[in-house]
Structure 1
Amino acid sequence: MNDDRSMKVFFLFTGSGALVILTSYGAIDDPALLRRLAAKGIDKFLSYQIPLALARERYGKHFDVVLEDLSETDDLRVLDFDGTRAFRLFSFREMGAPLPVEP
């Protein structure tokens, strides 16, 4: 199993909806991560960090499956494409302070 201590979970509000990502980047505003997101068409968003343990608890086995697929060359995984489900799983009180990102 991968060492998840350095993993981060972010809830992103994008122009096309909400999603939750799991990444090994240290911060959502890491330039390399921003380039990876922009390459996927995500360059303007509002982000919230979700505590890793909370995401693991809420997603259960799905979290472990996504984490196991993470390798050194694949440092960005989508944990949840379904914004409606993500909104049901997390309250704003549970997330960190919002960080706006735009080009």
Structure 2
Amino acid sequence: MPKSKMRSYLIFTGTGPMLVLSTYPKLTDERLVQKLRHKGIDKFIAYTVDLEAVQARYEDSYDSVAVDLEGREDIRVLDFNGHQIMANFSLDALGDPIKFGG
């Protein structure tokens, strides 16, 4: 299987933010959405986060999470500590929101 492009997203859910790594082609890919639904996440607002910024801020855990995604299309949570996520990223640096679930 060809290597899938790694992407990172900051996803705001009803229980708080989470930072994820994904190799799905887009955040609204139905397979990814089904995985989120399985975890009880039916609605979210998300932002694409610069992958280099994520690597720099999570250098201790990034590689171990990313290696788990090698050769597959899937998603992994890198951080679910809202305080830490918000301290690591400026909202001004994020692009346009991706809204899902109406």
Once the two structures are TM-superposed, the CA of residue 5 in structure 1 deviates from its matched residue by: 6.8
2:49 aligns to what?
50
**TM-score (normalised: structure 1):** 0.88
Once the two structures are TM-superposed, the CA of residue 93 in structure 1 deviates from its matched residue by: 2.0
Once the two structures are TM-superposed, the CA of residue 31 in structure 1 deviates from its matched residue by: 1.2
Unmatched tracts of structure 1, length 5 or more: none
Q: Give the total of aligned pairs.
A: 101
* 1:65 alignment partner, SS class: helix
Q: Percent identity?
A: 35
* 2:61 alignment partner, SS class: helix
Once the two structures are TM-superposed, the CA of residue 99 in structure 1 deviates from its matched residue by: 1.1
Unmatched tracts of structure 2, length 5 or more: none
Aligned-residue RMSD, C-alpha = 2.0
Superimposed CA distance per residue, residues 17-39 of structure 1 (whole angstroms, 9 cap, x where no aligned partner): 11011010121111111111111
Distance 2:56 2:79 in 1: 14
Once the two structures are TM-superposed, the CA of residue 65 in structure 1 deviates from its matched residue by: 1.2
Distance 1:52 1:35 in 2: 23
**In the superposition, relative to structure 1, how do residues 25 and 74 fare at CA in structure 2: closer, same or farther (>3 Å)?**
closer
Superimposed CA distance per residue, residues 12-60 of structure 1 (whole angstroms, 9 cap, x where no aligned partner): 1100111011010121111111111111111101100001111101111
* 1:11 alignment partner, SS class: strand
**TM-score (normalised: structure 2):** 0.88
